[in-house]
């Protein structure tokens, strides 16, 4: 296959949907020679913050001179974002090469009634083969959904398991209580391994303790910053980000969301549990230089347009806190698109009071909540914000360009919206 054929093959497979479970991925990886067992993985699960924590850890490891594979999903704009070594995305030629390699094994599985790999499983298998062939020192591996039955859990050991903040999302798959969700996430912990977790409530911490005791694993609970502040109250400033104190040491990050101090603190403590040499200077530089697109990312300063991937209640709460930090009582314009399987009523109750205008549009995903339906739900909640219906991201961007802002336009509700909007706004 060439590049275009490879991407079409992967996208066509995605049309058949996803399936939780490890049987397919175990068979596929076995046919490929189990490359994942020859890699040293840092496995990251959690509800919110996985991507930011992964980005911080990657930035520091690269500063320290380690060749680091990076696997994440979904992509914002380009398929190649999902598979990287250091900051370099996989090339089109390598996508074609590894997609062909994986397709041949997947077709063998289908023809012998051994299973039917999903799109996520195919891409993950590509990544493992690519990382092994390129002799990386470590792999940062972000869980797709949950943990226990997620395809990334095909690895039998890890350098470290990292679990970010646990909250409610994907309850149809993971359970309806924090304890049930935590159990799914904590199932990435390996026998005799080590795990560092974001501190949770008593039920969540009990799950971690029980899982570690059963598996003979070592549990570390991250400390949160003792002090924190935004570097600038003006997001149009050239000096945006967060500064925080962790164990008496001052750190800063260029990422503007107020929740980033917690993510960075977890990443710092996770890095110090790895069997790698890195100085405090490398940690400071890596944390400061890390970027993670689509997470309270400033896309334009005049007018001020910000994209945030908040797509569940906890994400919306974190976004609301950040908006209050920067804008106080000032009202923002929301550009909002949400998937219909999310708890959108809870998200809206957190975000609508902070807005005086809402542009609703549809997410370019089959699971999107239709614009008219989202507008109807908003009107059930409140009559206050002005409401504009724009069906596509392109139409929404045209509406954004027409308007005047006293504060900012905030694109939120789904990463599947943040990605295409980001591309429209930042393209030359």
Using one digit for the tens of pLDDT, what is the confidence trace for 74-83?
888 899 999 9
To 5 degrees, how large is the angle CA 61–CA 426–CA 15?
80
Within 13 Å and on the Cβ side, how many CA atoms surround 411? 31
Task: Work out the burial of residue 98: count CB atoms within 10 Å of its CB; fewer than 13 is exposed, 13-18 middle, 19 or more buried.
Answer: buried
The dihedral over CA atoms of 313, 316, 318, 320, expressed in degrees to the nearest 10, equals -130
Pick the CATH number of 297-426 from 3.10.20.30, 3.40.50.2300, 2.160.10.10, 3.90.190.20: 3.90.190.20
Distance CA 330, CA 21 (A): 46
Provide the token pair at 164: 């970010």
Report angle CA 171, 172, 175 to the nearest 5 degrees.
Answer: 50
Q: In what order do the strands lie in the sheet with 409-412?
A: 297-301, 304-307, 409-412, 332-336, 355-360, 386-389
Q: Identify the helix (H) or strand (E) that includes residue 179.
A: helix 178-186
Q: CA 274 to CA 272: how far, in whole Å?
A: 6
Domain 3-289 has CATH 3.40.1190.10: yes
Under DSSP, is residue 9 helix (H, G, I), strand (E, B) or coil? helix
Q: Output the pLDDT for position 357.
A: 95
Token output for 120:
């996520």
- Nearest residue to 44 (alpha-carbon basis) of 208, 219, 151, 188: 188
pLDDT at 404: 83
How far apart are the C-alpha atoms of 421 and 418, rounded to whole Å?
5
228 SS3 class: strand
261 within 8 A of 223, measured Cβ to Cβ = no
Domain boundaries, the chain: 3-289, 297-426
d(C-alpha 40, C-alpha 242), whole Å:
31
In angstroms, the Cα distances linking 43 to 164, 197, 299, 407 are: 11, 12, 30, 39
Whether the ω angle into residue 13 lies within 30 degrees of 0, i.e. cis, is: no
- Structure tokens belonging to residue 338: 């949400």
Element containing residue 63 per DSSP (H, E):
helix 50-63
Tally of CB atoms within 10 A around 278: 17
- Residues in the chain, pLDDT under 50: none
The pair of structure tokens assigned to 84 is 């990287």
Q: pTM of the predicted model, to two decimals?
A: 0.94
pLDDT of residue 208: 97
Angstrom distance (rounded) from CA 199 to CA 209? 12
Whether the CB-CB separation of 307 and 426 falls below 8 Å is answered with no
Whole-number pLDDT of residue 56: 98
């Amino acid at each position: 296959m060439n590049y275009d054929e490879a991407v079409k093959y992967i996208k066509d497979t995605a049309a058949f949907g996803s399936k939780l479970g490890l049987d397919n991925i175990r068979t596929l990886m076995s046919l490929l020679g189990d490359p994942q067992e020859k890699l040293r993985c840092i496995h990251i699960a959690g509800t919110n913050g996985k991507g930011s924590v992964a980005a911080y850890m990657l930035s520091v490891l690269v500063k320290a001179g380690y060749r680091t594979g990076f696997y994440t999903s979904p992509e914002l704009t380009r398929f190649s974002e999902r598979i990287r070594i250091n900051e370099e995305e996989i090339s089109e030629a390598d996508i074609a090469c590894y997609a062909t390699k994986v397709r041949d094994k997947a077709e063998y599985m289908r023809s012998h009634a051994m299973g039917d790999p999903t799109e996520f499983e195919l891409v993950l298998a590509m990544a493992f083969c690519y990382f092994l062939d390129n002799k990386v020192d470590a792999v940062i591996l972000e869980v797709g959904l949950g943990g226990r039955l997620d395809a990334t859990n095909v690895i039998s050991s890890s350098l470290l398991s990292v679990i970010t903040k646990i909250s409610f999302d994907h309850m149809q798959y993971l359970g309806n209580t924090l304890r049930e969700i935590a159990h799914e996430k904590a199932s990435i912990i390996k026998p005799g391994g080590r795990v560092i977790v974001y501190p949770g409530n008593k039920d969540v911490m009990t799950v971690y303790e029980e899982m570690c005791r059963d598996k003979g694993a070592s549990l570390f609970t991250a400390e949160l910053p003792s002090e924190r502040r935004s570097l600038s109250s003006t997001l149009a400033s050239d000096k945006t980000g967060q500064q925080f104190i962790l164990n008496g040491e001052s750190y800063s990050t260029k990422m503007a969301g107020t929740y980033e101090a917690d993510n960075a603190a977890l990443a710092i403590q996770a890095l110090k549990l790895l069997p790698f040499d890195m100085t405090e200077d490398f940690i400071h530089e890596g944390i400061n230089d890390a970027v993670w697109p689509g997470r309270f990312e400033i896309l334009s300063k005049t007018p001020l347009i910000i994209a945030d991937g908040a797509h569940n209640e906890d994400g919306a709460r974190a976004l609301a806190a950040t908006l209050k930090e920067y804008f106080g009582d000032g009202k923002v314009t929301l550009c909002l698109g949400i998937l219909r399987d999310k708890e959108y009523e809870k998200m809206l109750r957190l975000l609508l009071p902070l807005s005086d205008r809402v542009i609703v549009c549809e997410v370019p995903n089959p699971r999107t909540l239709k614009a008219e339906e989202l507008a109807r739900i908003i009107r059930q909640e409140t009559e206050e914000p002005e409401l504009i219906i724009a069906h596509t991201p392109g139409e929404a961007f045209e509406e954004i360009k027409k308007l005047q802002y006293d504060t900012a336009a905030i694109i939120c509700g789904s990463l599947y919206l943040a990605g295409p909007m980001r591309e429209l706004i930042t393209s030359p």
